Structure 1
Amino acid sequence: MRFIRFIFTMVGLWTCALALLALVLDGVRSIAANEVVMKSLGATWFEIDNASLNLAQAVIQRNVHPFLWDPVMQWILMMPAWLVAALVGLFFIWLGRKRRPKVIRV
């Protein structure tokens, strides 16, 4: 059980580090452009590997449900990459936390 909590925590910390990196890159782009620039998760994913993005769309639409791709995943893909990565990282850190024992009060 400790090993699984450790893995969740490490994945969460690495994902939060990627979120910080994406935030710094957005800051650099904003300074260079003299306006606020935030790259979306979809644009970042498309630049890294567009084939896997197309594959994810096909798998979700055909095997899960088309409704999940059209409003839900498109909304997530339009969000800033650093925000999505930070939320996912914090979720994994939360999963890896040590739970307090429940105290029964009489």
Structure 2
Amino acid sequence: MIRFLLRFFGVWVLAGGFVALVLDGVRSIAASRLLYTPLGDAWAAASATGLGQALGGTDLPGGSWRSLITPLLEAPLAAVLVVLGILLILLGRKRA
């Protein structure tokens, strides 16, 4: 049952990554330059309070959390979703 759920959510996350890739491609073609949606912007649009809590609510010393999470938040949304979807699908695959 857990493997099924992992594969199910993996396919949906992968589909979301494909949709984000298509939207970024359309925006890039319209602007005649490469544009992409950063993960942080998409997260802020979906839930600004959740992003603020994630950035400020950790107990790691010296701002190390912010130095770890900042590159991830600047990564393209499509790439993050595709990688996450593939990982979920691989975790949920049947063993040989």
Q: TM-score, normalised by structure 1?
A: 0.83
Unaligned segments of structure 1, at least 5 residues: 101-106
The one of the two structures with greater contact order (alpha-carbon pairs below 8 A, sep at least 6) is 2
Aligned position for 2:4: 6
| 1:27 maps to amino acid | G
1:43 Cα deviation after fit: 1.1
Report deviation, 1:58. Answer: 2.1
Query: Which residue of the partner structure matches residue 21 of structure 2?
Result: 23
- The amino acid that maps onto 1:93 is I
Aligned residue pair count: 94
TM (norm. structure 2) is: 0.91
C-alpha contact 2:38 2:73 (8 A) present in aligned 1: yes
Rg (Cα) greater in structure: 1
Map of 1:99 onto structure 2? 95
- What is the RMSD computed on CA atoms of the aligned residues? 1.0
Gaps of 5+ in 2: none
Distance in 2, Cα, partners of 1:49 & 1:8 = 24
2:74 matched residue in structure 1 = 78
Code of the residue aligned with 1:70 in structure 2: it is: R
